[in-house]
Copies of this chain bind each other. A is one copy, B any other.
Amino acid sequence: MKNDNAPRVQDIARMANVSTATVSRALSRPDLVSEATRDAVLKAVAEAGYTVNVAARNLRRQRTGSVLALVPNLANPFFSKIIAGINSVLRTRGLTLLVADTEGGPEVHAQMATLAHRSRADGLIVLDGCLPAGILDHPACPPVVQACEWIDGLPGPRVMADNRDGGVLAARHLIDLGHRRIAQLTGPANNPLTIERSRGVREVLAEAGIEGRTDWILEGAFSLSSGQQAAREILAMADRPDAVLCHNDEMACGLMGELQRTGLDVPRDMSVIGFDNIDMAAHVTPGLTTVEQHRTALGVCAAEVLLDLLDGASPPPVTVLPVGLLVRGSTLAR
């Protein structure tokens, strides 16, 4: 063994008096070698503290045994459960999940381009709708599944919640409670989730004969602080809505907290409804009424679609998962 380095197959082969081929087989296909040989190899491995060089194996095998998830913002609790779902499925197949945060500008995208390569991962699950399509439909890029968000013009299967229907459920709930003065706190205007959710809301409002007041549509950033900011804007309005439909729970919580801090009572003075059903939603006071999407299931589904893809099967191009309304205390009949 070269002095400064970790042991290699060669070293193990010498120690066990076999060829490198046999060592390799003893480790990855134990059924192919005799018991005596296997024991000798394993003994040498243990003794030398050998572990395979993954780069060499990946190079030769032309696959990596791992899947990469590209997440727009790891700090967003929304994603964590999806990741957990993905992980649970991949583990059953012996695949390792790695996660990279895609936050940042073009210079980060360049980094992502080197990540999105067959020699890095066997498959990609992309949760970020803002990546340039170019790096993902490159021939060197492994199979891609898009989850939650999606990238226009990028082929390949998608898995997502029924965002439009979520908008419908939320809006209808408020209307059923007698609200007609409904504000919206959306995500970034160009975000596909927000576009879909808005569509559902708009449909229901129109159906109910409620005029869409554009001054009651606020644009947020899916963050607690943008919810807080929105609350301030609403409080400053001469003509206030009496319900706010938020496009995610974080904004709803931020908004609700700020309303309360200013002395308003939620839901008596204002109903608030969120979207996603993150853990926090059940624990704030009052409990946040929200549109539940099963994030773990979404991750599971995305992973299964990816596995299909890797197996050469043809998964459905689009999978839409149902959402449901979860009524807690933050909404009240007018």
Total chain A interface residues with beta-carbon distance under 8 A: 61
Chain B min CB distance to A208 (Å) = 32
Bits for A94-118, please: 1 = Cβ < 8 Å to B, else 0.
Answer: 0011111101100110010111011
Chain B min CB distance to A283 (Å) = 4
Decide yes or no whether A176 CB sits under 8 A from chain B: no
Decide yes or no whether A84 CB sits under 8 A from chain B: yes
> Which one of B53, B56, B77 contacts A77 once the chains associate, using CB atoms below 8 Å?
B77
Per assembly, the copies of the chain total 2
Chain B min CB distance to A57 (Å) = 8
Q: Which residues of B contact A13 (CB under 8 A)?
A: none
Q: Which B residue sits closest to A6, measured CB to CB?
A: B140
Given contact pairs A55-B119, A138-B51, A224-B279, A101 touches B83 in the complex (Cβ within 8 A): yes
Asked if A114 and B283 sit within 8 Å, CB to CB, the answer is no
Decide yes or no whether A257 CB sits under 8 A from chain B: yes
Chain A interfacial positions (CB closer than 8 Å to B):
6, 49, 51-56, 58-59, 64, 68, 74-77, 80-81, 83-84, 87, 91, 96-101, 103-104, 107-108, 111, 113-115, 117-120, 138-140, 224-225, 227-228, 253-254, 256-258, 260-261, 279-280, 282-285, 287
